[in-house]
Amino acid sequence: MSEKEKMLLGELYNADNDEELINLRLEAKELCFKYNNLNPRDSENRKLTLEKIFKKSINQCLIEPNFYCDYGFNIEIGENFYSNHNLVILDANKVKFGDNVFIGPNCGFYTSGHPLDYQTRNKPLEYAKPITIGNNVWIGGNVCVMPGVTIGSNTVIGAGSVVTKDIPDNVIAVGNPCKVLKNI
């Protein structure tokens, strides 16, 4: 089984010594560099570059620069998506955003994680678990969403939160670790 196949299955894999994964990351990083340096008024090339990063067509999507990702092809964006500046998506596994998702500045979505035991971590091995964001979600600034998390539809995540566990539909959740504050 290839390192890419292990990565997509959520198994331990080696991203540092695999030529295929290294080349895929470099391709995505070159496209992110291009995107981040386009004229803000050049909406046509911004859209085309995002489509090259995601390897699929997109509609009603605006990501303010700077934007960074690992691979791009694991990111799925719904309709009417907006992210403010400094979005980071470590997409070693699937990151799926529903429709009408709004993200504040300086947010990160991290599918990648590392083993706790240093002998395994130092091999170097890592894993990746998918992240799913429902429809009509608002994520405040400086939020981190960790591997394997699902955020339900119609939910608000307060600024500065670290989301380590699933958050249900129709709630306001805040904190580190992020917890449900109240139902909407």
CA dist list (Å): 156 to 4, 27, 124, 140, 169: 33, 33, 36, 8, 9
Question: 67 pairs with which residues across the strands?
Answer: 87
Q: Which of 4, 25, 114, 179 is catalytic?
A: 114
- Going from the C-alpha of 5 to that of each of 8, 33, 68, 92, 146, the distances in angstroms are 5, 27, 23, 11, 21
Strand ranges, E, within the chain: 61-63, 67-69, 75-76, 81-83, 87-90, 95-97, 102-103, 108-110, 112-113, 127-128, 131-133, 138-139, 144-145, 150-151, 156-157, 162-163, 171-174, 179-183
* 114 flagged as catalytic: yes
Helix (H, G, I), strand (E, B) or coil at 168: coil
Gap between the Cα atoms of 21 and 62, Å rounded: 27
H/E stretch holding 60 reads none
Q: Among all residues, which ones are annotated catalytic?
A: 114
